[in-house]
Amino acid sequence: MPHSTVLFELFLILSAAVIAVPIAQRLKANSIIGFLIGGLVIGPFGLGFIPDNRDISTVAELGVVFLLFMIGLELSRERLRVIGGKFAALGVLQITVTLGLGFVALIAIDLPLPSALVIAGALALSSTAIILKQLSDERQLHTRFGRAALAVLLLQDVAVGPFLIMVQAAGNTTSTTSPWVSILAGVGAVAVLLLAGRFLLRPMFRAIAALHNPELFAIGTLFAVLAASTLTEMAGLSMALGAFIAGVMLAETEFRHQIEADIAPFRGVFLSLFFMSVGMSVDVGVVYHHALTVILGVLALLLIKGAILFLLSLATRFDRAVSMRIALGLAGGGEFAFVMFSLAAQNGAITPQLAAILVPIVAISMALTPSMIALGKKLEDIFHPRETDQLGEIEAQTDGVEHHVLIIGCGRVGRVLARLLKTRNIPFIVLDSDAQQVARGRAEGLPVYFADGSRPESFRAAHTDQAHVAAVAMGSPHETEKTVALLRQHYPHLKIFARAQDISHIGALSRSGANAAIPEVLETGLRLSDHVLSACDVPQDEIDTEIAKFRRADMLLMNELAPRSPGHSSASATKPALANNKPENKA
């Protein structure tokens, strides 16, 4: 009963994922590592629960299809705007130099030309899934390192299409057809698909959206992905390439965000199956007998690729601290290498034995990537020459400012506060590490400066010893607590007010030294309630009374949740909160 066998194998895979992924996350490893280890344990080379992974590999191929579709969907003009100047130069140089040097090195150890080209291309890529997730969690995407990493990863994603064609052409070595003919045929098929996507996809989705049927919209998305994949497969290319092109074509449409929401569950499930199947394909015997080769391969990948990234970063005028972080963060391999090795092994571009050695090399380097990113951050914190010049400029430009308000964070909350202070002619300085937010604040005529607002050096540059109030309006709860604690430690005279994520966050901020913490959801909810009640024809005076009651009750609860340290009096704790009991003026 083959169907029952497949269902039982899927059950085993899901069971292994449920066990392995939480363990990996507890060990602070990426979930991809959990999938790989889970697949290894239950696969034919592990405990042997699944003796043959061919059935699963067929289903898992859809994970690659959806991964490439999502990558293409993210390559909109809006996201590509971050690639400019030295960021673009670094990305292009990283791909070409790493590919070129890797190709030469592999040729030097007597690998065939097609195999060397495929392997060098696969190892030139880094893990988009691991790096961007960690940078996003740590709110590092808008730092110079984060923007450089994003630019390099986006350009690597753009290179995915040509790399797929390269793998396809390299695998045709046993065919009587010239590789150049295969490449031209692939380019022609891609051109046809681009034209079809331009003239058919947008009208099709507009017609579906006009019917206001969510289920049909999801079906239309799946149809677009699978239709494009089938067309490229019929043209002799991979299904993944067709999905990638479909994603790129849809990235510029008004339906992009809805498509992302519809496709995300399918992508997650099938992609987890793909990584599990990769884990099942790892031959433990081969790894054991070639352990030295695998270890040397990991070291060579990290050292050579890291050295290339470091030198290229310096050459494109990044300072040493950022160059070091780029080298450490992007030196590892990426998930798309598994795709390339799998396709290359299937079409004969590399041998299955070589693929069995390359897969654990990439997997181990990926497992080390989060630790290397953290190491780069620690080294930057030790040396960090990156902000010296910038902080000197801030100190010079704000010289003479005193008895001012220091605002840390120039997002929605910080800008509202800054505009109100400006209308009252109260001096203030705003710090933010997001270049886009700094540019937006400067465009509004606000004194916003690019600096990490969670560092004592930034406090000194902003003359915090002369300030009397600090408002911490950062988005990250962890960074907010850290900043409040540092401000309280270095400037005990300051009155510190902080933006809390919710009511439960108030206690932590108070213990860190905040005089008052205001949950961001409170006033938003009250303002929304005001408008809704008004639309329901409730008299405005009754609305004001009810909102005042809610505000008083919430502020009392906030004060109960904000335990005071010995250095804070209860009066100082109560006064800021009760000051908010007055009904808001209507806009």
Look at the domain 52-383 and name its fold.
Answer: Na+/H+ antiporter like fold (1.20.1530)
Tell me the pLDDT tens digit for each residue of 12-29. Answer: 888 888 888 888 878 777
Q: What is residue 81's predicted lDDT score, i.e. its pLDDT?
A: 58
Q: pLDDT tens digit string along 180-230?
A: 555 666 677 677 777 777 778 778 888 888 888 888 888 888 888 888 888
pLDDT at 303: 94
pLDDT given for residue 543 in this prediction: 82
Phi, psi of 448 (to 5 degrees): -105, 135
pTM, full prediction: 0.57
**Predicted local distance difference test score (pLDDT) of residue 75:** 65
Q: For 387-559, CATH number?
A: 3.40.50.720
Confidence of residue 306 (pLDDT cuts 50, 70, 90): very high
Task: Determine if residue 463 is left, alpha or beta; phi over 0 gives left, psi from -120 to 50 gives alpha, anything else beta.
Answer: left
Angle at 564 between CA 416 and CA 524, to 5 degrees: 30
For 134-162, the pLDDT digits (tens) are: 776 666 766 678 778 878 887 887 777 67
pLDDT at residue 136, rounded to an integer: 64
Residue 498 has pLDDT above 60, yes or no: yes
Task: Give the best-scoring range by mean pLDDT among 9-13, 84-88, 206-210.
Answer: 206-210
Instruction: Return the axis-axis angle of helices 320-330 and 352-383, rounded to nearest 10°.
Output: 150
98: confidence class by pLDDT, cuts 50, 70, 90: very high
Would you say 517 and 536 are in contact if contact means Cβ atoms under 8 Å apart? no
Do 52-383 and 387-559 agree at the fold level? Answer: no
Alpha-helix runs per DSSP H in 159-213: 160-170, 179-196, 202-210
pLDDT over 60 at 584, yes or no: no
Tens digit of each residue's pLDDT (9 = 90 or more) over 111-121 = 888 888 888 98
SS (H, E, C) 422-483: HHCCCCEEEEECCHHHHHHHHHCCCCEEECCCCCHHHHHHCCHHHCCEEEECCCCHHHHHHH
pLDDT at 2 over 70: no
Say yes or no to pLDDT of 374 above 50.
yes
Residue 305, C-beta contacts closer than 8 angstroms, at least 6 positions apart: 98, 123, 124, 330, 331, 332
Residue 474's pLDDT is: 85
Q: Which of 267-271, 316-320, 415-419 has the lowest mean pLDDT?
A: 267-271
The residue extents of the domains of the chain are: 52-383, 387-559
For residue 3, pLDDT beyond 50: no
More confident residue, 222 or 553: 222
pLDDT of residue 238: 66
Residue 367 has a pLDDT of 78
At residue 233 the predicted structure's pLDDT band, cuts being 50, 70 and 90, is confident
Tens digit of each residue's pLDDT (9 = 90 or more) over 268-303 = 677 777 778 777 877 777 778 888 988 999 999 999
Close Cβ partners of 120 (under 8 Å, ≥ 6 residues apart)? 98, 99, 100, 101, 102, 103, 105, 106
- Greatest mean pLDDT range, 8-12, 161-165, 391-395, 471-475: 471-475
State the pLDDT at residue 565. 42
Q: Which regions of 357-400 does DSSP assign to beta strands (E)?
A: none
pLDDT of residue 573: 39
pLDDT of residue 576: 40
Query: What percent of the chain is predicted at pLDDT more than 70?
Result: 76
pLDDT bucket at 568, cuts 50 / 70 / 90: very low
Q: pLDDT-derived band of residue 396, with 50, 70 and 90 as boundaries?
A: low
pLDDT at 388 over 50: no
